[in-house]
Amino acid sequence: MTDATPNAIGAEGKARPGRLRLILLVLLSVLSLGGGLVAAVGPSRMMELVGLGGGAPEDVAAVPEEEAPGEVLRAALATDPARMAMPFEEIIVNITATTASGRQTSRFLKLDLALIYDSSQPEAERLEERRIYLRDSFQDYLRTLDERDLRGSLGLAELKSELLRRARAVAGSDIAHEILVSDMIVQ
């Protein structure tokens, strides 16, 4: 009988680290899943989902969903009456992309943007008249892009910089101040 007792204790002792590993693995998985969820929806939204948050902070102005993007843009520019926004209709162009096998393929780029300019300048009226030339210049440039050119924040910054440079070239002056991109979709 003395032989059966140590084996039973030994088997129980070996099973215990296995259970401990399983518990630690499950705990680590739950923590990772929770961390990923918080990273995906944000801490304040996660608190709302759990029932601990009180909604949006009161100091942040909520924009009604039915309000058009142009209205939001005008409201944002209301602080400086000399600055005006020239929104463009959405631009859809083909761009090139390279597949994993190295084959060239075509993708669509959809871009919604607005040009911010100084309306107090004498060239402001000329800029409005040259809207179709601005759009054409933007499209010419966008068609030369590769999908890799649009990756990351650097890609977006270079896109905005190049579009602004072209807007200034078409306007013939530095009246254009900034390019705002509201939507950019590569499909």
Q: DSSP of 91-120, one letter per residue? A: EEEEEEEE-TTS-EEEEEEEEEEEEEEETT
Q: Is the pTM of this model over 0.95?
A: no
- Tokens standing for residue 34: 């929770």
pLDDT-based confidence at residue 161 (cuts at 50, 70, 90): very high
- Tokens standing for residue 159: 């896109």
Q: What is the pLDDT of residue 91?
A: 95
Q: What percent of the chain has pLDDT over 90?
A: 39
Q: Please check the confidence at residue 155 and state whether its pLDDT lies above 80.
A: yes
Q: How far apart are the first and last CA of the chain?
A: 73
Integer CA distances (angstroms), 96 to 43, 88, 101, in order: 38, 23, 14
- The phi, psi pair for 107, rounded to 5°, reads -125, 165
Q: State how far the Cα of 48 lies from the Cα of 50, in Å rounded to an integer.
A: 5
Q: List Cβ neighbours of 157 (8 Å cut-off, separation of 6 or more).
A: none
Q: What is the pLDDT of residue 35?
A: 72
- Which helix (H) or strand (E) is 47 found in, with range? helix 43-50
Q: State how far the Cα of 43 lies from the Cα of 46, in Å rounded to an integer.
A: 5
If one compares 46 and 150, the residue with the highest pLDDT of the two is: 150
Beta strands 83-87 and 91-98: pairing type? unpaired
Q: What is the pLDDT of residue 137?
A: 96
Q: With H, G, I as helix, E, B as strand and everything else as coil, classify residue 85.
A: strand
If one compares 18 and 45, the residue with the highest pLDDT of the two is: 18
- pLDDT (mean) for 152-174: 93
Q: Which of 40-49, 87-96, 155-164, 169-178 has the lowest mean pLDDT?
A: 40-49
Q: State how far the Cα of 91 lies from the Cα of 138, in Å rounded to an integer.
A: 9
Q: Please check the confidence at residue 59 and state whether its pLDDT lies above 50.
A: no
- pLDDT (mean) for 96-125: 90
Q: What is the pLDDT of residue 130?
A: 93
Q: Which of 72-76, 88-92, 127-131 has the lowest mean pLDDT?
A: 72-76
pLDDT-based confidence at residue 122 (cuts at 50, 70, 90): confident
- The phi, psi pair for 83, rounded to 5°, reads -85, 135
- Tokens standing for residue 123: 């060239």
pLDDT-based confidence at residue 79 (cuts at 50, 70, 90): low
